[in-house]
Amino acid sequence: MKKRGIGLGCGWYGTGYGNGFPDVSSAFVEIHDDGSATVSTGAVDVGQGSSTVFAQIAAEELGLEPQDITVITGDTDTTPDSGTSAATRHTYNTGNAVLKAVREAKERLLDHAAHEFSCTSAQGIELKEGWIGVIGDPSRRQPLADMVFQARLHGERFISAESSTARTTPVDRENGQGAPYWPYAFGAQVAEVEVDTETGLVQVLRIIAAHDVGRAINPTQVEGQIAGAVAQGVGYALMEEVELHEGVIKNPAFSSYLIPTALDVPNIQTIIVEEEEITGPYGAKGLGEPAMVPTLAAVVNAIYDAVGVRITSLPATPEKILAALVEKERTFGEGGMRQNIDS
Amino acid sequence: MNIELRVNEQDFRLVVEPDERLLDVLRNRLGLIGTKEGCGEGECGACTILMDGKAVNSCLVLAAQAVGHELMTIEGVGDRLHPHPLQKSFVELGAVQCGFCTPGMILSAKALLDRNSQPSEEEIKEAMSGNLCRCTGYDKIVKAVQRAAEEVAR
């Protein structure tokens, strides 16, 4: 018989290296005389989209389009170190470094422009849609490229280098006190599953995932990160297990270490919660790892809701579920009261 | 041994080892490095190409077995200036993350759309289930195939 159930999982996650480990990102920025800009940072985009986020941040500050920004990453000859692409840290930490660097280069540009436009303060200057000009006076503006080009002829360059260090202190080993991470990410997911009581096989039908990302700098990428994390979470919950025998992995192949295919991944509905993180770039914080955390609990809770057995070791394989169902029947009789049974 | 292969509508005369995999010939001898090697044992689908319009794992085909067949790799599907509707929709919908599975995904999807231009969501998932992806959760990949199917139909 196939039985359905729903389960809830909630998670919070400290982002960044944490526990006092130096967590530093850096960036170089140059605004060019063709109206484009370059961002250089050691932060490597491994597909999560960090380079796109950096281009968006620089473009937003400079009144340009993301395609006007060249992002150079991961070149030890030219880019400043920004640590690893790990710990859910690039959008937040490297994003902050990029934002600081862009603002620094921009500040010099605005000071120069204020002088050129005979303004007393750079606060009256704006960068918008590839133009630089006096706020509220459309007659006093020029293409950004022209301004930078002229500045260049006078020996002015708009180049900057900045870094950003995450807030973290080691936890006191005696009393557990400290501030190991900042910021924290929060999420909640609901899973709907179908459990086959004959085979023990679980099919996850649907996941609704709500995640607080501070600010979604790129909503499409946020959805992509959540869906990817949910798929990994489903694998973690139901099928993935490294089998070790005397230190040797017995299943080092996709035929024996199963990961979800397109057929195993449920329908995923994402809810992006934007609760501004004031220390992040435009209020953003990381999402990569935390989005996987609630999936496990949601799936395992949904199995309990469906068939009344509590699986306490992962993955929740058909074997474990069938064994738990047999145990439950033996203890309480068929259709007996729902009880916690440790697998 | 001397063989002739037809890849992306071009003929190539090659000298290959009898036990040389088609994947290696494509990548190393023809420079078609869009085809990726993942597991090398027919489980992940990263090396998927089309052989007479059918999606096959090129790591499981010997180059000599491909003689007389029409082969297509990702390089033959489209390019930057003339992307195939699938390539366009993958980019537009964010169906690419690290990109390693993408060439194989596109070719499996193309094989599907070429024989079934209006696939259901289940048919798409079934057709793509031989291609593993660790980044995207398949969500946007399935949507990109749906979008491309709509565009092909128009």
CB contact under 8 A, A227 and B99: no
Among A283, A51, A54, A68, residue whose Cα is nearest residue A162: A54
Q: Are A262 and B98 within 8 A, CB to CB?
A: no
Q: Which among B125, B128, B136 is the nearest to A227, CB-wise?
A: B136
Residue A203 pLDDT: 97
Contact B109, B117 (CB under 8 A): no
Cα diameter, chain A: 89
Instruction: Identify the pLDDT of residue A142.
Output: 97
Q: Which helix (H) or strand (E) holds A115?
A: helix A95-116
Beta bridge partner(s), residue A41: A73
Residue A266 Cα, gap to closest chain B Cα (Å): 9
pLDDT computed for residue A334 by the predictor: 64
DSSP code of A170? P
SS3 for A195? strand
Q: What chain B residue is nearest to A222 in terms of C-alpha separation?
A: B94
By residue count, chain A amounts to 343
CB contact under 8 A, A228 and B134: yes
- Quick check: A228 and B97 CB within 8 A? yes
Residue A37 CB partners (closer than 8 Å, separation 6+): A29, A30, A31, A58, A62, A64, A68, A69, A70, A102, A105
On whether the CB atoms of residues A32 and A70 are closer than 8 A, the answer is no
**Pairing relation of β-strands A69-73 and A37-41?**
parallel
Shortest distance between the Cα of B65 and any Cα of chain A, in A, equals 24
Return the structure tokens found at A284: 């953003």
Of A46, A232, A268, the CB nearest to B139: A268
Angle between helices A219-238 and B139-153 (to 10 degrees): 120
- Write the pLDDT tens digit of every residue in B88-144: 999 999 999 999 999 999 999 999 999 999 999 999 999 999 999 999 999 999 999
Question: What domains are defined for chain B?
Answer: 2-76 (3.10.20.30), 85-153 (1.10.150.120)
Exposed/middle/buried for residue B105 (C-beta within 10 Å: 0-12, 13-18, 19+): buried
**Angstrom distances, CA of residue A329 to CA of A6, A24, A162, A180:** 22, 56, 64, 46
DSSP state of A183: S
**pLDDT at position A343, please?**
44
- Give Cβ neighbours of residue B122 (< 8 Å, ≥ 6 apart): none
- Residue contact B137–A254, C-beta within 8 A: no
| Alpha-carbon span B135 to A228, nearest angstrom | 5
Q: In 3D, which of A123, A98, A104, A113 has the Cα closest to residue A148?
A: A113
Using the beta-carbon criterion (under 8 Å), do B43 and A231 form an inter-chain contact?
Answer: no
Q: Do B125 and A259 touch (CB under 8 A)?
A: no
DSSP state of A113: H
- Contacting residues of B for A46, CB less than 8 Å apart: 98
**Which residues of chain A approach chain B closer than 8 Å at the C-beta?**
46-49, 220-221, 223-224, 226-232, 253-255, 259-263, 265, 268
Q: Please count the residue pairs, one from chain A and one from chain B, whose beta carbons lie less than 8 angstroms apart.
A: 81
CA distance A119 to B103: 54
Q: What is the mean pLDDT of chain B?
A: 97
Which DSSP helix (H) or strand (E) runs through A257?
none
pLDDT recorded at residue A333: 78
Q: Which of B44, B98, B138 lies nearest to residue A254, judging by beta carbons?
A: B44
- Measured distance CA(A193)–CA(A264) in Å, rounded: 11
Position B153 scores a pLDDT of: 85
Question: Can you give the pLDDT at residue A338?
Answer: 53
3-class secondary structure, A255: coil
The pLDDT value recorded for residue A335 is 58
Residues of chain A found within 8 Å of residue B60, distances taken between Cβ atoms: none
**Neighbour tally for A43: CB within 10 Å:** 32
Q: Where are the alpha helices (DSSP H) in B16-84?
A: 22-24
Rg of chain A, C-alpha, whole Å: 26
Nearest-CA distance from A323 to chain B in Å?
A: 29
Domains of chain A and CATH, by start = 2-14+181-332 (3.30.365.10), 24-165 (3.30.365.10)
- CA distance linking residue B61 with residue A192, whole number of Å: 40
Q: Exposed/middle/buried for A77, CB within 10 Å: 0-12, 13-18, 19+? A: exposed
Q: Which residue of A has its CA nearest to B100?
A: A47
Gap between the terminal Cα atoms of chain B: 46
- Residues of B in Cβ contact (< 8 Å) with A254: 39, 41, 43-44, 132
pLDDT tens digits along B16-33: 999 999 999 999 999 999
Looking at beta carbons, which residues of chain A come within 8 Å of B130? Answer: 261
CB-CB neighbours of A315 under 10 Å: 20
The residues of A annotated as belonging to the active site are 289
Question: What is the CB neighbour count within 10 angstroms for residue A245?
Answer: 8
pLDDT confidence of residue A177: 93
Question: What tens digit of pLDDT does each residue of B41-81 get?
Answer: 999 999 999 999 999 999 999 999 999 999 999 999 999 99
Q: Which two tokens stand for residue B4?
A: 């002739």
CB-hemisphere CA count at 13 Å for A295? 30
Contact A258, A235 (CB under 8 A): yes
pLDDT values of chain A reduced to their tens digit, one per residue, 343 residues = 999 999 999 999 999 999 999 999 999 999 999 999 999 999 999 999 999 999 999 999 999 999 999 999 999 999 999 999 999 999 999 999 999 999 999 999 999 999 999 999 999 999 999 999 999 999 999 999 999 999 999 999 999 999 999 999 999 999 999 999 999 999 999 999 999 999 999 999 999 999 999 999 999 999 999 999 999 999 999 999 999 999 999 999 999 999 999 999 999 999 999 999 999 999 999 999 999 999 999 999 999 999 999 999 999 999 999 999 999 999 987 655 554 554 4
Q: Are A110 and A37 in contact (CB under 8 A)?
A: no
In chain A, residues with a C-beta closer than 8 Å to the C-beta of B98 are 46-47
H helices present in chain A, as ranges: 50-62, 95-116, 144-153, 219-238, 293-307, 318-332
Sheet hosting strand B10-15, strand order edge to edge: B10-15, B2-7, B70-72, B48-51, B54-57
Determine, for residues B139 and A254 on separate chains, whether the beta-carbon distance falls below 8 Å.
Answer: no
